[in-house]
Protein backbone atom coordinates (compact mmCIF):
# COMPACT_ATOMS: atom_id res chain seq x y z
CA UNK A 1 0.00 0.00 0.00
CA UNK A 2 1.38 3.39 -0.94
CA UNK A 3 1.02 6.95 0.27
CA UNK A 4 -1.61 7.99 2.73
CA UNK A 5 -3.51 4.70 2.37
CA UNK A 6 -0.75 3.13 4.48
CA UNK A 7 -1.99 5.25 7.40
CA UNK A 8 -5.30 3.33 7.47
CA UNK A 9 -4.89 0.37 9.81
CA UNK A 10 -6.93 -2.29 11.45
CA UNK A 11 -6.96 -2.57 15.24
CA UNK A 12 -4.16 -5.16 15.38
CA UNK A 13 -1.92 -3.13 13.07
CA UNK A 14 -2.51 -0.01 15.14
CA UNK A 15 -1.74 -1.90 18.36
CA UNK A 16 1.59 -2.95 16.83
CA UNK A 17 2.30 0.67 15.85
CA UNK A 18 1.43 1.73 19.40
CA UNK A 19 3.99 -0.73 20.78
CA UNK A 20 6.61 0.58 18.35
CA UNK A 21 5.93 4.19 19.35
CA UNK A 22 6.04 3.31 23.04
CA UNK A 23 9.37 1.47 22.64
CA UNK A 24 10.78 4.57 20.92
CA UNK A 25 9.59 6.81 23.77
CA UNK A 26 7.11 8.65 21.55
CA UNK A 27 3.68 9.80 22.74
CA UNK A 28 0.50 8.65 21.04
CA UNK A 29 -2.47 10.98 20.89
CA UNK A 30 -5.89 9.50 20.17
CA UNK A 31 -9.12 11.13 19.14
CA UNK A 32 -12.23 9.81 17.48
CA UNK A 33 -15.33 10.83 15.62
CA UNK A 34 -17.53 10.44 12.57
CA UNK A 35 -15.71 13.05 10.44
CA UNK A 36 -18.52 13.13 7.89
CA UNK A 37 -18.20 16.13 5.51
CA UNK A 38 -14.78 17.26 6.67
CA UNK A 39 -14.71 21.03 7.33
CA UNK A 40 -12.49 23.77 8.81
CA UNK A 41 -13.61 22.94 12.34
CA UNK A 42 -12.31 19.40 11.87
CA UNK A 43 -9.00 20.74 10.53
CA UNK A 44 -8.60 22.99 13.59
CA UNK A 45 -9.53 20.13 15.92
CA UNK A 46 -7.16 17.61 14.34
CA UNK A 47 -4.26 20.07 14.25
CA UNK A 48 -4.88 20.83 17.94
CA UNK A 49 -4.94 17.11 18.74
CA UNK A 50 -1.73 16.42 16.83
CA UNK A 51 0.06 19.21 18.73
CA UNK A 52 -0.53 17.28 21.98
CA UNK A 53 2.06 14.58 21.21
CA UNK A 54 4.29 12.84 18.70
CA UNK A 55 1.72 10.90 16.65
CA UNK A 56 -2.04 11.17 16.15
CA UNK A 57 -4.33 8.17 15.74
CA UNK A 58 -7.90 8.92 14.69
CA UNK A 59 -10.58 6.40 15.55
CA UNK A 60 -13.21 6.67 12.83
CA UNK A 61 -16.76 5.53 13.40
CA UNK A 62 -17.88 2.91 10.87
CA UNK A 63 -20.91 3.58 8.70
CA UNK A 64 -23.00 1.36 10.98
CA UNK A 65 -21.99 3.22 14.12
CA UNK A 66 -22.55 6.63 12.48
CA UNK A 67 -26.11 5.54 11.60
CA UNK A 68 -26.65 4.42 15.20
CA UNK A 69 -25.39 7.77 16.53
CA UNK A 70 -26.67 10.24 13.92
CA UNK A 71 -29.68 8.54 12.32
CA UNK A 72 -30.46 6.70 9.08
CA UNK A 73 -29.53 9.56 6.75
CA UNK A 74 -25.90 9.57 7.89
CA UNK A 75 -23.13 9.15 7.08
CA UNK A 76 -23.16 11.08 3.86
CA UNK A 77 -19.66 9.95 2.97
CA UNK A 78 -18.84 6.19 3.21
CA UNK A 79 -16.32 5.06 5.84
CA UNK A 80 -13.43 4.21 3.54
CA UNK A 81 -13.75 7.58 1.75
CA UNK A 82 -13.79 9.35 5.13
CA UNK A 83 -10.72 7.34 6.18
CA UNK A 84 -8.91 8.26 2.94
CA UNK A 85 -9.55 11.97 3.41
CA UNK A 86 -8.37 11.85 7.04
CA UNK A 87 -5.28 9.84 6.09
CA UNK A 88 -4.36 12.46 3.48
CA UNK A 89 -4.07 15.15 6.16
CA UNK A 90 -0.53 15.85 7.30
CA UNK A 91 -1.55 16.13 10.96
CA UNK A 92 -3.05 12.61 11.00
CA UNK A 93 -0.60 9.72 11.39
CA UNK A 94 -3.03 6.79 11.63
CA UNK A 95 -6.71 6.08 10.99
CA UNK A 96 -8.53 3.10 12.51
CA UNK A 97 -12.17 2.38 11.69
CA UNK A 98 -14.14 1.00 14.62
CA UNK A 99 -17.65 -0.45 14.59
CA UNK A 100 -18.72 0.08 18.20
CA UNK A 101 -20.90 3.07 19.12
CA UNK A 102 -18.24 4.16 21.64
CA UNK A 103 -14.45 3.95 21.15
CA UNK A 104 -13.73 2.52 24.63
CA UNK A 105 -12.52 -0.90 23.41
CA UNK A 106 -10.19 0.70 20.85
CA UNK A 107 -8.86 3.11 23.47
CA UNK A 108 -8.20 0.21 25.83
CA UNK A 109 -6.40 -1.69 23.05
CA UNK A 110 -4.14 1.30 22.33
CA UNK A 111 -3.85 2.97 25.75
CA UNK A 112 -2.85 6.34 24.29
CA UNK A 113 -0.76 8.81 26.25
CA UNK A 114 -3.20 11.61 25.42
CA UNK A 115 -6.91 11.39 24.68
CA UNK A 116 -8.43 14.44 22.94
CA UNK A 117 -12.12 15.23 22.63
CA UNK A 118 -13.96 18.42 21.75
CA UNK A 119 -14.96 20.59 24.67
CA UNK A 120 -18.60 19.88 23.82
CA UNK A 121 -17.95 16.31 25.06
CA UNK A 122 -16.60 17.38 28.48
CA UNK A 123 -19.55 15.66 30.17
CA UNK A 124 -18.70 12.29 28.58
CA UNK A 125 -15.24 11.39 27.35
CA UNK A 126 -15.30 7.71 26.48
CA UNK A 127 -12.09 6.09 27.68
CA UNK A 128 -11.20 8.86 30.16
CA UNK A 129 -10.99 6.55 33.18
CA UNK A 130 -8.83 4.01 31.31
CA UNK A 131 -6.37 6.58 29.97
CA UNK A 132 -6.00 8.39 33.30
CA UNK A 133 -5.64 5.10 35.21
CA UNK A 134 -2.71 4.24 32.92
CA UNK A 135 -0.90 7.54 33.44
CA UNK A 136 -2.27 9.37 30.42
CA UNK A 137 -4.11 12.64 30.22
CA UNK A 138 -7.33 13.91 28.68
CA UNK A 139 -7.34 17.21 26.81
CA UNK A 140 -10.47 19.05 25.70
CA UNK A 141 -10.09 20.79 22.36
CA UNK A 142 -11.68 24.18 21.73
CA UNK A 143 -14.40 24.27 19.10
CA UNK A 144 -14.29 26.45 16.02
CA UNK A 145 -17.43 28.63 16.22
CA UNK A 146 -20.03 28.08 13.53
CA UNK A 147 -18.44 24.93 12.13
CA UNK A 148 -20.21 21.60 12.40
CA UNK A 149 -21.27 18.80 10.10
CA UNK A 150 -24.82 18.94 11.44
CA UNK A 151 -24.89 22.64 10.56
CA UNK A 152 -23.68 21.90 7.04
CA UNK A 153 -26.32 19.22 6.58
CA UNK A 154 -29.02 21.57 7.85
CA UNK A 155 -27.93 24.34 5.46
CA UNK A 156 -27.95 21.92 2.52
CA UNK A 157 -31.44 20.74 3.49
CA UNK A 158 -32.65 24.34 3.74
CA UNK A 159 -31.28 25.14 0.29
CA UNK A 160 -33.03 22.13 -1.19
CA UNK A 161 -36.26 23.20 0.48
CA UNK A 162 -35.93 26.67 -1.08
CA UNK A 163 -35.75 25.10 -4.52
CA UNK A 164 -32.13 26.09 -5.04
CA UNK A 165 -30.17 23.40 -6.83
CA UNK A 166 -27.39 21.67 -4.94
CA UNK A 167 -24.76 20.98 -7.56
CA UNK A 168 -21.85 18.66 -7.13
CA UNK A 169 -18.50 20.06 -8.12
CA UNK A 170 -15.71 17.96 -9.46
Domain boundaries, the chain: 3-161
Q: Are the CB atoms for 38 and 46 separated by under 8 Å?
A: no
| Residue 29, strand partner residues | 56, 114
pLDDT in tens, 48-83: 999 999 999 999 999 999 999 999 989 999 999 999
Provide the pairing of β-strand 137-141 with 55-61: unpaired
DSSP-assigned beta bridge partners for residue 5: none
Task: Report pLDDT digits (tens) over 132-162.
Answer: 999 999 999 998 765 565 665 566 667 666 5
Q: What is the DSSP code string of 15-54?
A: HHHHHHHHHTTPPEEEEEE---S--HHHHHHHHHHHTTSS
**Mean pLDDT, all residues of the chain:** 89
Third-level CATH fold of 3-161: Rossmann fold (3.40.50)
pLDDT at position 39: 86
Residues 8, 166: Cα–Cα separation, whole Å? 31
Mean pLDDT over 21-26 rounds to 98
Eight-class DSSP state of 155: H
Question: How far is 117 from 126, CA to CA, in rounded Å?
Answer: 9
Please count the CA atoms within 13 angstroms of the CA of 59 that sit on its side-chain side. Answer: 29
Q: Considering the entire predicted model, what is its pTM?
A: 0.86
Q: Give the contacts of 120 (CB within 8 A, at least 6 positions apart).
A: 143
> Within 10 Å of residue 43's Cβ, how many Cβ atoms?
14
Amino acid sequence: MRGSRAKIMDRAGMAAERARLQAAGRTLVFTNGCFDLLHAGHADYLEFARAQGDALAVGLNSDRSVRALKGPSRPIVPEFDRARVLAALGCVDYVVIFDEDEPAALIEALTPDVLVKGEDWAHHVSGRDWVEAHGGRVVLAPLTPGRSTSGLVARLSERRGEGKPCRESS
